[in-house]
Amino acid sequence: MRPSNIILLILFGSLWACTSYREHPQPMAAPTLEKGESFFNKNNDSAFYYFNLVATTATDSLEVAMAYTYMGIIQAYEGDHYGGQESLLKSLNYLDEHKEKDQECLSSNYHGLGNICLNLKNYEAAIDYYRKALTLLKEPGDQAIAQNGIALTYQKKGDYDQAIDIYKSLLAKSEGDKKEYARVLSNYARAKWLKDSTYPAGPELQQALKIRRDSNDIWGLNASYAHLSDYYSQSLPDSALYYAGKRYDKAREMNSPDDEVEALSKLITLSPTNLLKPYFIRYQYLTDSIQTAKNAAKNQFALIRYEAAKNKADNLQLQKDNAQRKTQLVIQRFLLAITVLFFLIAGIVLILRYRRRQQQIEMASRQAIQEHQLKTSQKVHDVVANGLYRIMTDLEYKAAMDKEDLLDKIELLYERSRDISYETPTRSNVPFYVKTDNLLTSFGSDDVKVLIVGNGPVLWDQVDMQTQHEVEHILQELMVNMKKHSRADSVMIKFERQNGQVQIIYTDNGVGIPPQVKYGNGLRNTENRIRSIGGRYIFEHPVKGAKIHISFPIDHSS
């Protein structure tokens, strides 16, 4: 199997089976690339290190492109979608679609970028990348993979007619391959049901399940159980619970934490209250473990790249220093031996002092980090551990417990954990209007434009530090909610000062705020912060988007 085809399978497997497994690609000629491949799927930190070495030192453009592709695979698999996207885009810079030898790697990158955009809900970009991959693919099986990706993307974005047409075409082409036929049939029935909730998808979903059982398609069975559990959730809750349990068993058999979490979420929704406790405990453990692993992976990849770049820069600097030193020595020998000796000793002393100073700074930094980690660890114990223990005690000693009450307690614990690292505000050397600009623009991207009007030093010159601290958190909560929920691509925040009041007007062109919205703790905390500084707020409901007026007195203590 060729390396690029392996990459297609790795990056695209999640479209059918919720999680993917990865095979070993065949070695390539470059020794450093072979070294990375020898660690691939065994020790991805080491694999990433060697692939990064190839990407930054190799002279062959295809080798560099393949190295970035491998890096993108590893990052995306570990949950670092943005890092994976960056690596795959870098790979494209080294490839030419007019060169036949580059086309397989190009199609792999387009598939990978399509998958990442799908996971990030950037559906139009995902379809565009899948179609680019389709133009480069020659094998019918590879083309079917790309078409499946396009169909699933249409399904995710709610364009069910487009998805159904593609699935119908694939059904006719896959009758000779039982596994492929079962996969397309299950996806086709699910799309039909999502379009029309009265569509009787059960027989087709059961047919796909039977084919997968007969062929012992473990990953396919996992997908079928998920589809059946969703389908029966409203009409036959007992059947939905049964298939959710079957999916949970299959996820554990596959050792797939992500699938196990999804199955547990379904079981928690469908199970009687007295059976929730073990599911909830396992769910909490897995979600914490998965998130910790993903965060660690992102940090580790960034550190590997940093260290590689630093070593390269240090080596170049060392070579430059050595060359300069040799040149100076040659010149200085024609002058005075004493002058040479003096500058040599002075240079050594300066280097030693610099290194000693760097060691002192590093030691102080490590000590500060350890003290902060200890303080945070103590707060986590007090807030999270004790809160979880109270919830577990309620589950253990109460015969029946209302689900809404349980969810409220979990949400309260979540909000308290968000404030673990809260510290009393301290005066900053950075002017507040600069901090505000930095905060707001940090939420901008190629897809979201942030416009700031009226923010300047005069606006804040009489506003006390505590009020500035609260305003900073209010703006941050608004921007986080925008990023998570509004689907806006344009945001404007206008600041002005009138009649002893600071006025803030937030506007976006997203989906808006429903008039009967039920506020979560984030918005409630924001309301409390506004009230704490003597302010007022008004939510408007324009035809499109959201508009929020916030005002507070410059001196709210008076």
CATH number for the domain spanning 471: value is: 3.30.565.10
User: Does residue 143 sit within a domain?
Assistant: yes
- pLDDT per residue over 471-495, tens digit each? 988 998 888 888 888 888 999 999 9
Residues 6+ apart with CB under 8 A from 493: 440, 450, 451, 452, 453, 455, 475, 504, 505, 506, 507
CA distances from 174 to 1, 16, 143, 190, 482 (A): 21, 15, 12, 18, 43
Measured torsion, CA atoms of residues 180, 184, 187, 192, in degrees rounded to the nearest 10: -160
CA 265 to chain centre: 20
Residues 6+ apart with CB under 8 A from 13: 19, 20, 21, 219
For residues 170 and 134, is the Cβ–Cβ distance under 8 A?
no
Q: What gap in Å lies between CA 54 and CA 32, rounded to an integer?
A: 6
**Which of 157, 178, 203 represents a domain boundary (last residue)?**
157
Quote the percentage of the chain above a pLDDT of 70: 75
User: Does residue 486 sit within a domain?
Assistant: yes
Give the phi and the psi of residue 454 in degrees, each rounded to 5.
85, 0
Q: What is the pLDDT of residue 335?
A: 83
List, in sequence order, every beta strand (DSSP E) within 241-369. Answer: none
For residues 220 and 21, is the Cβ–Cβ distance under 8 A?
no
Burial of 399: CB neighbours in 10 Å, binned 0-12, 13-18, 19+: exposed
DSSP 374-411: HHHHHHHIIIIIHHHHHHHHHHHH-S---HHHHHHHHH
What letter would DSSP give residue 26? P
CA atoms within 13 A on the CB side of 162: 14
User: Does residue 225 sit within a domain?
Assistant: no
Maximum mean pLDDT: which of 317-326, 360-369, 448-457, 476-485: 448-457
Which residues span the domain enclosing 115? 1-157
What mean pLDDT is predicted for residues 400-422?
Answer: 67
Q: What gap in Å lies between CA 85 and CA 77, rounded to an integer?
A: 12
For residues 476 and 440, is the Cβ–Cβ distance under 8 A?
no
- The reported pTM is 0.49
DSSP 181-248: HHHHHHHHHHHHHHH-TTS--HHHHHHHHHHHHHTT-HHHHHHHHHHHHHHHTTT-HHHHHHHHHHHH
Quote the percentage of the chain above a pLDDT of 90: 24
Task: List 504's β-bridge partners, or say none.
Answer: 495, 550
Q: What gap in Å lies between CA 93 and CA 91, rounded to an integer?
A: 5
Q: Please give the residue that has the higher pLDDT: either 284 or 378.
A: 284
For residues 451 and 492, is the Cβ–Cβ distance under 8 A?
yes
Q: What gap in Å lies between CA 72 and CA 51, rounded to an integer?
A: 10
CA distances from 434 to 410, 459, 533 (A): 37, 12, 21
What mean pLDDT is predicted for residues 4-12?
Answer: 42
User: Does residue 51 sit within a domain?
Assistant: yes
What letter would DSSP give residue 175? T
Q: Does 149 have pLDDT greater than 60?
A: yes
Q: What is the pLDDT of residue 205?
A: 93
Assigned token pair, 451: 């416009």
User: Does residue 447 sit within a domain?
Assistant: yes
DSSP 452-478: EES--HHHHTTS-HHHHHHHHHHHHHH
User: Does residue 257 sit within a domain?
Assistant: no
For residues 25 and 6, is the Cβ–Cβ distance under 8 A?
yes
- pLDDT per residue over 155-194, tens digit each? 999 999 999 999 999 888 887 788 888 989 999 999 999 9
pLDDT band at 415 (very low <50, low <70, confident <90, very high): low
Q: Does 82 have pLDDT greater than 70?
A: yes
List the CATH number of the domain containing 132: 1.25.40.10
DSSP 98-134: TSHHHHHHHHHHHHHHHHHHHHTT-HHHHHHHHHHHH
Domain count, the chain: 2
For residues 95 and 62, is the Cβ–Cβ distance under 8 A?
yes
| Chain mean pLDDT for the chain | 79
Q: What is the pLDDT of residue 9?
A: 41
pLDDT band at 319 (very low <50, low <70, confident <90, very high): low
**Which of 115, 131, 157 represents a domain boundary (last residue)?**
157
What mean pLDDT is predicted for residues 61-68?
Answer: 89
Q: Are strands 449-453 and 490-498 parallel, antiparallel or unpaired?
A: parallel
What mean pLDDT is predicted for residues 198-224?
Answer: 91
Q: What is the pLDDT of residue 547?
A: 92
What mean pLDDT is predicted for residues 444-472?
Answer: 90
DSSP 152-163: HHHHHTT-HHHH
What mean pLDDT is predicted for residues 106-125?
Answer: 91
User: Does residue 238 sit within a domain?
Assistant: no
Burial of 197: CB neighbours in 10 Å, binned 0-12, 13-18, 19+: exposed
3-state secondary structure of 429: coil
For residues 251 and 279, is the Cβ–Cβ distance under 8 A?
no
User: Does residue 523 sit within a domain?
Assistant: yes
**Which of 157, 189, 216 represents a domain boundary (last residue)?**
157
